[in-house]
Amino acid sequence: MAKQTIVQVFDDITGEPDAAEVQFGHQGTEYVIDLSQPNRAALEKALAPFVAAARPIRPPRASATSATAREAEQQAFRRLVRQWWTRNEDKAGRPANRRGRIPADVVDAYKQHQLGLVPAARPAVPPARPATAAQPAAPVARPVVPAPRSAPAASPVPAARFSTGGS
C-alpha cells in the first residue's frame, strides 16, 4: 500500500492556499510568516521606502565567540593536566614545571590515566632484528672516511667578490 502525504501551506493572514515562507526582522527580532503572493507583494511594497533608506548591518561573527569558548576549554584542559602532572610526577616521567609548554608525553600520560590505561613501557633503544637466511644481519656502524679531494675544476664564470663591510 503506497501513501502520499501532501503538505499545503496557507497564508497566515487570509488563509489562502499556496503560501510561501517569508522572513524579516524588526528591532533585533527575526520573524517568519507564511504569505500568499498578493500579501507578500503588499509587505514588500510597504517596506520598500524603509529598506531603501536603511543601511544593512552584518550579523555578529559567530567565530569570535566560538574561538573564545574554544580557548577557555583548552585553558581549562591545560590547567587540569598541569594539576595532575604536579601530583603525579612519577607517572608523567619528568618533574612538573609551573609555566611553559606542557610536553606531549605528559599530555599522553594524563589521557591514559584518565582512561584507566597503563602506559606501555618504551624501550630506550629499539631491539636489534635477528638475522634470517633471507636477510643479512644489520650492518655494523663504521666511521665514515671522507674521499680524497681533487682540485676544483676551473669555472667559465669568474667568481664574484663580496664585501662584508669590514676593512
Instruction: Kindly report the CATH number assigned to the domain that includes residue 21.
Output: 3.30.60.230
Pairing of strands 20-26, 29-35: antiparallel
- Average pLDDT along the chain: 76
pLDDT at 41: 95
Q: Which amino acid is residue 108, in one-letter code?
A: D
Residue 93 lies in a domain: yes
pLDDT at 134: 60
Spans of the chain below 50 pLDDT: 120-125, 159-160, 162-163, 167
Residue 150 lies in a domain: no
pLDDT at 138: 58
Domain boundary, last residue among 79, 99, 115: 115
pLDDT at 49: 93
Residue 160: Cβ-neighbour burial (10 angstroms; 0-12, 13-18, 19+):
exposed
Q: Domain residues for 66?
A: 62-115
Give the total number of structural domains in the chain: 2
pLDDT at 120: 47
82 and 39 part of one domain: no
38 and 81 part of one domain: no
pLDDT at 95: 80
